[in-house]
Amino acid sequence: MTKILPFKAVRPAPAFAGLVASRPYEDYSENELRAQLDYNPYSFLHIINPGYKFQHEIGGEKRFGMVRNRYLEFREEGVFQKDENASYYIYEIHSREGSCCGIIAAASIDDYEKDVICRHEDTIAHREELFKEYLKVVGFNTEPVLLTYPDNSVINELLAEKMKMRPEYEFATNNKELHRLWLIDDPEHVSKIRSEFEKQEKIYIADGHHRSASSYLLAKESRENNPNHTGEESYNFFMSYLISESNLRIYEFSRLIRDLNGHTKEEFLILLDEWFRIENRGYEIYKPSKKHHFNMYLDGEFYSLYLRKTNYEFTDSLSELDSFILFEKILKPILGIEDLRYDKRIEYIHGRNDLIELKTRVDSGEFAVGFGMLPASIEEIKQIADENLTMPPKSTYIEPKLRSGLTIYEF
């Protein structure tokens, strides 16, 4: 049984919603970021970049405290207001790729601890701890964890009914997306949604493993420090965006490697031949169409690599994952890439960018070789999570990506 609850969000007043909402901080170029901070006083970027007010870079715990101060200023000025009733929030994004919608709600830390909310990625301990300290100081979270569940006709019908009504927010962004948000706070619909989620034996983290892990650490610490702990406190939950599996968009990451680890082109191809059937595609841009097929761009030409399945043994769901095969049979043994997170010789391009970028970056001389593959499926992700296995870093790039600042969960 999965516990997914409504909560009282802190939100922008409707007049400010489009101005407040921002992309993740790291998505902005330096010039774009400066323009937002210079000319939009309501951007959520002012909260997460509090030193800009004083034209001064601020780091560490001092920055955390100033984030808290900027947030309180937005509340005091009426830019943010807290809802009186606990609600579920329908959030829809319509883009050139299509539309998707889901429910923003509070997910249970206990479900996370018991693996009712299932994971498929490893997290880094120091990042978990750093974000836990950030949450503790600022007292709020504005980036929901992306959770996915099997399509549910009852929830779908309820959302469709509600979305016929005028939304609370409706605004467009300069990347040609339309964002809309509705509130569900009437007791009958709230009860129905909660009941439908309670029927789910498991739900899965699609994106946000570090956010959920940090919320778990904060909950553990808060429970230990609260002698009157009841289990209903806000720290026992974390904000999530729950989206049906059919609404999820999963892309691959291509790999770019700076050198051939001392091998000549000919030596490298001979080493690949042990595990892959290789076809030179010349100047034809090649993208795989099947699992266990890879594309490679090397020395101005595309190659297809087909895994020799007579040589390779499938032992579990992880061993069948293409990003794992690429690491185990090429990146690690041949190219000497041991650490996919921190090795400076490897970079990644998410699959929303086409193969022209991979080709351009190899042709520039910055990289020697690039590899691509098909994206993992939701079935693969779920199977790996069910077997308590973890995917290699940068195995998936998952959308939708929500705007920051539209719903805020206070601890």
CATH code of the domain in which 328 resides: 3.30.1760
Task: Give the chain's mean pLDDT.
Answer: 95
Question: What local confidence, expressed as pLDDT, does residue 57 receive?
Answer: 77
Task: Give, to the nearest 10 degrees, the angle between helix 153-162 and helix 187-198.
Answer: 150
Judgement on whether residues 37 and 58 belong to the same structural domain of the protein: yes
The domain containing residue 241 runs over which residues? 4-250+399-410
pLDDT for the residue 27:
86
- Is pLDDT of 60 > 80? no
Same domain for 11 and 71, yes or no, is yes
CA dihedral 103, 403, 9, 241 (to 10 degrees): 30
Indicate whether 244 and 271 sit together in one domain.
Answer: no
Residues 157 and 228 in one domain: yes
Predicted confidence at residue 98, as pLDDT, reads 86
Judge whether residue 59 has pLDDT over 90.
no
- Domain identity same for 82 and 220: yes
pLDDT at 54 over 90: no
In this structure, the answer to whether residues 196 and 211 fall within a common structural domain is yes
Residues 236 and 268 in one domain: no
Q: Same domain, yes or no, for 223 and 294? A: no
pLDDT exceeds cutoff 90 at 52: no
Tell me the pLDDT tens digit for each residue of 232-259: 999 999 999 999 999 999 999 999 999 9
Q: What is the total count of domains within the chain?
A: 2
Q: How many of the other CB atoms lie within 10 Å of CB of 386?
A: 14
- Among all chains, which residue has been given the structure tokens 């020799």? 308
Distance CA 109, CA 89 (A): 20
Q: Are residues 18 and 161 in the same domain?
A: yes
Which range among 44-48, 49-53, 84-88, 312-316 shows the weakest confidence by mean pLDDT?
49-53
CA dihedral 361, 362, 367, 369 (to 10 degrees): 140
Q: Are residues 55 and 147 in the same domain?
A: yes
% of the chain exceeding 90 in pLDDT: 90
Q: Is residue 169 pLDDT above 80, yes or no?
A: yes
pLDDT band at 53 (very low <50, low <70, confident <90, very high): confident
Average pLDDT over residues 160-164: 96
Q: H/E element holding 138?
A: helix 125-138
Handedness of CA 92, 94, 97, 98 (dihedral sign): positive
Q: Are residues 266 and 391 in the same domain?
A: yes
Q: Is the pLDDT of residue 58 over 80?
A: no
E strands along 142-211, which residues?
145-149, 169-172, 178-184, 203-207
Q: Could you tell me the pLDDT band of residue 292, with boundaries at 50, 70 and 90?
A: very high
Beta carbons of 210 and 124 less than 8 angstroms apart: yes
Shared domain for 140 and 223, answered yes or no, is yes
pLDDT of 398: 93
